[in-house]
Amino acid sequence: MSLATTMRHVDLTSFGAPDVMSFTNGPVPQPGAGEILVKVQAAGVNRPDVAQRQGIYPPPKDASPILGLEVAGTVAAVGAGVTDFAVGDQVCGLANGGGYAEFCILPVGQALPFPKGYDAVKAAAVPETFFTVWANLFQMAGLTEGESVLIHGGTSGIGTTAIQLAKAFGATVYTTAGSAEKCEACEKLGATRGINYKSEDFAAVIKEVTGGKGVDVVLDMIGAAYFEKNLNCLAKDGCLSIIAFLGGNIAEKVDLRPIMVKRLTVTGSTMRPRTAEEKRAIRDELVAQVWPLLEAGSVAPVIHSVLPFDQVVEAHRLMESSSHIGKIVLTLE
């Protein structure tokens, strides 16, 4: 069976609102050494996709300009030197770009087998958030059993993943969300306390529930708007891990004394600029430590909506509304 030479994909002719996205046809990419070509069955929708569409998160120079960082499907071709996967294997993975398309290139070190029992939709809801949470919450912030963590945006794809993983590895979890319904959803996933940031002062709640000690780690996607309060939420030797700037990236008139007095660490990262070797290391740890949890059903991606590929504009509008609880996934077949 010969491989198609052209494919349908989402096109950006300009930056802006969701409706700048349209569909076009282009050549099927060819896998190079250490790469696989995936016939995409499902693709995750993520905040970095929205930021790229808005023109504020450009892809690396060597990456596909097509939107999409998270795919699941079937291996259609393999590049030179690839022995981990073969044509016909079911894989999901973290792409460097190009996921909103019928075919997508995955570096082999960023590809993973479907967890046992998973279909393409469920598999496509895993890579981006699990890579991000594992790297920032466990590798960089060093969250361990017996510690406590405050997770902002608890009902986002990142949040629902972080709550479950932190709980699974023995941490006490607190989280913020924007409604009573969302706080309840967080608690069902394993959070000890969901904090409605619209009606409660999360820093005051953390002080109360921890007996004034604070939490060991804060996982934050808000940025400047929460920076000072996050520092105040941390216990001695705590770590603030910043993964996004939904509340701005410039913090002014912030009292930095808690960093010195409490010996705090402030860290953060984005996934896309990491090297292939760094991403492979994250992938290997996920397969060893998280895949068994997924396959046992003790941790699972939370999927809010599954939309056909043609509704990519509606998917981005839903993402921007922040009304969802969990992941948004596009299906291509």
Domain boundaries, the chain: 6-126+274-331, 130-268
Q: Under the phi-then-psi rule, with left for phi > 0, alpha for psi from -120 to 50, and beta for the rest, what region is 239?
A: beta
What pLDDT is attached to residue 3?
Answer: 82
Is the CB of residue 21 less than 8 Å from the CB of residue 11? yes
Per-residue pLDDT of 2-48, as tens digits, reads 688 999 999 999 999 999 999 999 999 999 999 999 999 999 999 99
Task: Count Cα neighbours of 87 within 13 Å in the Cβ-side half-sphere.
Answer: 9
Q: How far apart are CA 223 and CA 211, in angstroms?
A: 25
Per-residue pLDDT of 218-260, as tens digits, reads 999 999 999 999 999 999 999 999 999 888 888 998 999 999 9
Q: How far apart are CA 89 and CA 114, in angstroms?
A: 9
Over the Cα atoms of the chain, what is R_g? 20
Query: Which class does domain 6-126+274-331 fall in?
Result: alpha beta
Nearest alpha carbon to residue 116 among 131, 104, 126, 108: 126
The domain defined by 130-268 carries CATH number 2.102.10.10: no
**Percentage of the chain with pLDDT > 70?**
99
The residue with tokens 């608690």 is 187
Is the CB of residue 220 less than 8 Å from the CB of residue 243? yes
What pLDDT is attached to residue 2?
Answer: 66
Q: Do domains 6-126+274-331 and 130-268 have the same CATH topology?
A: no
Per-residue pLDDT of 65-117, as tens digits, reads 999 999 999 999 999 999 999 999 999 999 999 999 999 999 999 999 999 99
Whether residue 1 has pLDDT greater than 60: no
Q: How far apart are CA 276 and CA 87, in angstroms?
A: 22
Q: How far apart are CA 77 and CA 64, in angstroms?
A: 18
Q: How far apart are CA 125 and CA 102, in angstroms?
A: 17
Question: Measured in whole angstroms, how far is the alpha carbon of residue 206 from the centre of its chain?
Answer: 25
